[in-house]
């Protein structure tokens, strides 16, 4: 009823929004302290499974670095929450895909910031 990590983060270092084939959408917000996630949150529009998967993806990203975040997959989200009915399992894939896209956004910005400091 009250999922953890729900809502937008102001000024995230990494952000992504994805949509599933069924029309659900998910946003993931990441704030990094150095190379590790210090804050994570999500917003989901769709079924309850989307909300639960988004919450778990945000929680699983906390205190993780890029390599560890890439280890967060739909299977690891499903395992962490004890499974979902088969027809709702694609929501875990949506959460993992959105999390990885938010990480890519952070890495792109981080590279750009490093290049700016070298100039």
Q: Quick: pLDDT tens for 64-107.
A: 999 999 999 999 999 999 999 999 999 999 999 999 999 999 99
pLDDT at residue 44, rounded to an integer: 96
**What average pLDDT does range 21-47 have in this prediction?**
95
Query: What confidence category does residue 22 fall into, taking pLDDT thresholds of 50, 70 and 90?
Result: confident
Distance of CA 58 to the CA centre of its chain: 5
- CATH code, domain with 59: 3.90.1010.10
* Domain total in the chain: 1
Residue at 119 is within a domain: no
Q: Confirm if 112 and 19 have CB atoms less than 8 A apart.
A: no
Q: Confirm if 28 and 16 have CB atoms less than 8 A apart.
A: yes
Residue at 3 is within a domain: no
Residue at 115 is within a domain: no
Query: What confidence category does residue 118 fall into, taking pLDDT thresholds of 50, 70 and 90?
Result: very low
Residue at 97 is within a domain: yes
Residue at 7 is within a domain: no
Q: Residue 71: which domain range?
A: 14-110
Residue at 60 is within a domain: yes
Of the candidates 99, 107, 106, 78, which has an alpha carbon nearest to the alpha carbon of residue 18? 99
* Strands of 14-19's sheet in order across: 14-19, 25-33, 36-45
Q: Is 12 exposed, middle or buried (0-12, 13-18, 19+ CB in 10 A)?
A: buried
């Amino acid at each position: 009823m009250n999922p953890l990590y729900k809502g937008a983060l102001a000024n995230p270092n990494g952000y992504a929004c994805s949509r599933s084939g069924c029309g659900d959408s998910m946003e993931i917000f990441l704030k990094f302290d150095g190379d590790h996630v210090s804050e994570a949150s999500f917003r989901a529009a769709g079924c309850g499974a989307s909300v639960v998967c988004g919450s778990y993806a945000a929680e699983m990203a906390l205190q993780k670095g890029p390599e560890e975040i890439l280890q967060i997959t739909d299977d690891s989200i499903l395992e962490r929450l004890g499974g979902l009915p088969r027809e709702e399992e694609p929501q875990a894939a949506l959460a993992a895909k959105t999390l990885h896209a938010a990480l890519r956004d952070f890495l792109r910005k981080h590279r750009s910031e490093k290049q700016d400091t070298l100039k």
